[in-house]
Amino acid sequence: MDDNAERLKKPYTFLMLKLPGLIDPHVHVREPGQTHKEDWDTATQAALAGGVTTILAMPNTKPPIFDEATLELALSAAKAKARCDYGQYIGAGPDNPDVAASLAPKAAGLKMYLDSTFGELRLDDMTLWTPHFQKFPKSAPMVMHSESRTMAAAILFSAIYDHPIHIAHVSLKEEILLIKAAKEKGIKVTCEVCPHHLFLTSSLRPSPSGRGVGGEGRTEVRPRLATKEDVDSLWINLDAIDCFATDHAPHTLAEKDGENPPPGFPGLETLLPLLLTAVDDGRLTIDDVVQRLSTNPKRIFHLPDQPETWVEVDENAVYEIKAADQFTRCGWTPFEGWKVRGKVRKVVLRGKTAFEDGKVLAKPGSGRNVR
Ligand code: NCD
Ligand code: ZN
């Protein structure tokens, strides 16, 4: 991003690009339980502002989503407040393999937390993984938070139980190479990579005047930001990356700059501008972006068509990312001050203008459950 000055010098000619409604399979909506960070209203406004018309919501809420009652809690809030389409994951717990399997038709999929994360959902003991692999329907998506060696174990489970898995937020060279090798062996594994793991490295240092960071807590995210070699390997092995997903994980600035900063970055509103800027830099094609934000996630997560739905982007609009312009409630972004090229102008969802020129027009409750 050090060619920012160059980017601003490029001549401006208005160029409208039409994209399909984007799909983000990894969003932390925070409702129920932590609506001071985000809720179904603000998360789906942020989604629309980012060109995203479908979000799949993670289950590490308060309480976590792990049975019928908690699923209903999340879905009733979504039904009343969501402004774009949505699905809700169920979390894999030590005691819920049967219940989770029975709720599969109503859920976006099963999320298994096998490594360090934010919230209570975590399956430390490998013996707890087995019943989920045995019982959760093979046709329903299973998403793994599994890093490094845990990822290797999850891929082995996928092969043994012949259950497709989707690996969340891949960040390391060893991980993308392993996924590539597993795919070559015919193992049914797909994966996603987050923009922050494509554009930021662990050398990101807090500097109040610098680009995008304040206190040390603002660099905290799981998986952690990685080395330049890791980041480069993700770009080199782009063909092994099925989806781009934000892992939109809003925490307030006070929390990020406080005593025990929770891990997580917001990402819904910076996803497309960052990727389109990479297109402008010749690192990606528009087709690469559409594959990973629409075609592939639609297939992997078995999502319905959204007729008469599209996103209009002004490809040549150059501007600075500012938290102050965002709809997320969390009030910050790790990309503050970045110069990007490509702005969402308009989003049409099922024939209705849902977002236009900086304003969310879709009403709360207009979003539909994809299941
Ligand atoms: C996520 C969160 O805050 O819910 N944080 C993060 O750093 N990605 C949890 C997670 O996805 O593991
Ligand atoms: Zn997450």
- The Cα 371–Cα 108 span in angstroms is 7
| pLDDT value for 122 | 80
- Tell me how far the alpha carbon of residue 203 lies from the centroid of ligand 1, in angstroms: 20
- Sequence spans of domains, the chain: 2-360
- The Cα 162–Cα 81 span in angstroms is 38
Tell whether ligand 1 has an atom less than 6 A from the beta carbon of residue 118.
yes
Which residues fall inside 5 Å of ion ligand 2, going by CB? 247
Helices and strands: H and E segment counts in the chain: 13, 14
* Cα of 27 vs its chain's centroid, Å: 5
| pLDDT value for 12 | 64
What are φ and ψ of residue 216, in 5° steps?
Answer: -55, -35
CB atoms within 10 A of CB 241: 22
Tell whether ligand 1 has an atom less than 6 A from the beta carbon of residue 224.
no
Q: Looking at ligand 1, which residue's alpha carbon is closest to its atom 6? A: 264
The chain-wide mean pLDDT, for the chain, equals 94
Tell whether ligand 1 has an atom less than 6 A from the beta carbon of residue 60.
yes
Closest ligand relative to 249 C-alpha: 1
- The Cα 113–Cα 120 span in angstroms is 9
Determine whether domain 2-360 maps to CATH 1.10.3720.10: no
Using DSSP's 3-state secondary structure scheme, residue 273 falls into helix
Residue 245's Cβ-side half-sphere holds a number of Cα atoms within 13 Å equal to 31
Mutate-to-test residue for ligand 1 from 31, 114, 117, highest number of ligand atoms within 8 A of CB: 117
Closest ligand relative to 113 C-alpha: 1
Q: Which pair of structure tokens corresponds to residue 263?
A: 């891990």
| pLDDT value for 203 | 87
Task: Give the pLDDT confidence of 200-231 residue by residue, as tens digits.
Answer: 999 875 544 444 455 789 999 999 999 999 99
Tell whether ligand 1 has an atom less than 6 A from the beta carbon of residue 261.
no
Residues in the chain, overall count: 371
* % of the chain beyond a pLDDT of 90: 88
Reported as a pLDDT band with limits 50, 70 and 90, residue 5 is low
Q: Answer yes or no: pTM beyond 0.85.
A: yes
Task: Give the pLDDT confidence of 53-105 residue by residue, as tens digits.
Answer: 999 999 999 999 999 999 999 999 999 999 999 999 999 999 999 999 999 99
The atom of ligand 1 lying closest to the CA of 28 is: 4
